[in-house]
């Protein structure tokens, strides 16, 4: 079944694997994180060609909304980067409009970002619950140029997307921007990615640890080619780990020196039985090896990998301690609760041991045609799909993958899965 060419997704998909060794090449999408940042910066720069943009729904949505700057309402749907990046972009360009989203988006906090933007002169009101979308943007009060950068103090322990949103509009401020970070900063590699893309377009940024500085200056229109997505690659790592002995795969468009924090999957999966070889043509070869006896991993800088790793560890029976999962509570769903619910169907467990520590364990882990709920979360669908290498499996609401990896089910079919 070719899912991507069908106008409507089915209510569920059954996945089976014909038991042979897993071999071949799989195509990963372009990085959604790079694409959405590059689109905002390109808009602020007023030009530059972007190549290999992600075909994920979040990126297509961002592109469409940026092409309609005079809209009375912008619908960010369920896309966190779209909501947060557009809030800063529209506020600092003086737009008068409304930002809305799905029911789940209206439960995701945005107060930290709104308060910071208000300090920069943005006039923003909450159209519903205080601290949450929808937002009513009513323009901006111009600020005079000062000798020192405008200073903000921002919590870093909720979402790095707030910080990235502020950094990207920093060069447009008359005095630049200095951000003081408080608390534990999660997903710092995403902040570094933002700074690297800003510098590619001519901005000057300094990362001093707890202080980030951006000079006031115009972005320069510049071309950029987006890298393949390491978050998406993680699902293929999971498949190699769970496949029959002797399995290996090649993934193109992945760089050895990447700006993406989720390249951490290389080191994490080395502990769970997958060796990575970087090839000369910006591709990687994944080979199955023996997993470690036990794993302990901090996901503060790579929370989007947590679901993939938890499922693989449980399936392999490798006791694993996971920390740095705080932001998973406010993603597309409460990902910790969703993992606990779905792992239990197979004999796995994600146990809260207190003080931010979670233990992955399994008691007779078995795949025997269970049905996985996806909770409106693309990563739940793709994290559990590799279990089909161990037995038949049904995935509910498979359409969720369009958020970041629209071709996922088609790629499974190409590599040898039966997708019905």
Other C-beta atoms lying within 10 Å of the C-beta of residue 7:
4
206 labeled binding residue: no
Q: How far apart are CA 157 and CA 185, in angstroms?
A: 5
Q: How far apart are CA 68 and CA 250, in angstroms?
A: 39
31 labeled binding residue: no
Contact 260, 301 (CB under 8 A): no
Q: How far apart are CA 262 and CA 383, in angstroms?
A: 14
Among candidate residues 58, 229, 301, 304, the one labeled active-site is: 304
404 labeled binding residue: no
160 labeled binding residue: yes
Closest CA to 306 of 197, 390, 380: 380
161 labeled binding residue: yes
Q: What is the chain's alpha carbon radius of gyration, rounded to the nearest angstrom?
A: 21
Q: How far apart are CA 385 and CA 315, in angstroms?
A: 12
234 labeled binding residue: no
379 labeled binding residue: yes
Contact 170, 90 (CB under 8 A): no
Burial class (CB in 10 A: 0-12, 13-18, 19+), 354: exposed
345 labeled binding residue: no
Q: Count of residues for the chain?
A: 420
Instruction: Look up residue 280 and give its DSSP letter.
Output: T
Edge-first strand listing for the sheet containing 122-126: 73-75, 96-100, 135-140, 122-126
Instruction: Detail the DSSP E strand segments found in 210-344.
Output: 211-214, 224-225, 248-252, 274-279, 283-288, 295-298, 320-323
Q: How far apart are CA 409 and CA 240, in angstroms?
A: 17
304 labeled binding residue: yes
75 is catalytic: no
DSSP state string for 122-163? EEEEESSSTTSS-EEEEEE------SSPEEEEEESSS-HHHH
Catalytic positions, written as ranges: 304
Binding residues for 3-phosphoshikimate: 32-33, 37, 159-161, 187, 304, 331
Binding residues: 32-33, 37, 80, 108, 159-161, 187, 304, 331, 335, 379, 403
Binding residues for phosphoenolpyruvate: 32, 80, 108, 161, 335, 379, 403
């Amino acid at each position: 079944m070719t899912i991507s060419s069908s106008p409507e997704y089915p209510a569920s998909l059954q996945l089976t694997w014909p038991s042979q060794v897993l071999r071949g090449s799989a195509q990963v999408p372009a990085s959604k994180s790079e694409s959405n940042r590059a689109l905002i910066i390109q808009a602020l720069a007023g030009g530059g060609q972007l190549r290999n943009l992600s075909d994920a729904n979040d990126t297509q949505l961002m592109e469409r909304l940026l092409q309609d700057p005079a809209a009375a309402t912008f619908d960010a749907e369920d896309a966190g980067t779209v909501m947060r990046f557009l809030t800063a972009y529209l506020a600092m360009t003086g737009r008068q409009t409304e930002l809305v989203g799905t029911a789940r988006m209206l439960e995701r906090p945005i107060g930290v970002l709104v308060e910071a933007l208000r300090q920069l002169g943005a006039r923003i009101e909450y159209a519903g619950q205080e601290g949450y979308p929808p937002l009513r943007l009513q323009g901006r009060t111009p600020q005079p140029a000062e000798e020192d950068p405008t200073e903000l103090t921002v919590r870093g322990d909720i979402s790095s997307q707030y910080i990235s949103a502020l950094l990207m509009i920093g060069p447009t401020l008359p005095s630049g921007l200095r951000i003081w970070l408080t608390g534990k900063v999660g997903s710092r590699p995403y902040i570094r990615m933002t700074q690297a893309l800003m510098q590619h377009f001519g901005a000057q940024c300094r990362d001093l640890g707890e202080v980030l500085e951006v000079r006031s200056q115009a972005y320069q229109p510049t071309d950029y080619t987006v890298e393949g997505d390491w978050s998406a690659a993680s699902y293929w790592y999971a498949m190699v780990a769970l496949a029959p002995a002797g399995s290996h795969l090649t993934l193109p468009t992945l760089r050895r020196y990447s700006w993406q924090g989720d390249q951490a999957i290389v080191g994490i999966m080395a502990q769970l039985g997958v060796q990575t070889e970087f090839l000369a043509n910006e591709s990687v070869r994944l080979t199955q090896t023996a997993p470690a006896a036990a794993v302990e991993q901090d996901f503060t800088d790579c929370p989007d990998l947590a679901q993939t790793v938890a499922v693989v560890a449980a399936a392999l029976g490798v006791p694993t301690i996971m920390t740095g999962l705080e932001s998973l509570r406010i993603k597309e769903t409460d990902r910790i609760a969703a993992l606990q619910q779905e792992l239990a169907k197979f004999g796995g467990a994600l146990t809260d041991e207190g003080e931010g520590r979670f233990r992955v364990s399994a008691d007779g882990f078995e795949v025997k045609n269970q049905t996985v709920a996806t909770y409106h979360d693309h990563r739940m669908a793709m994290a559990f799909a590799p279990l089909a290498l161990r037995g038949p499996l049904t995935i509910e609401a498979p359409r969720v993958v369009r958020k970041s990896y629209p071709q996922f089910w088609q790629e499974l079919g190409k590599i040898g899965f039966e997708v019905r």
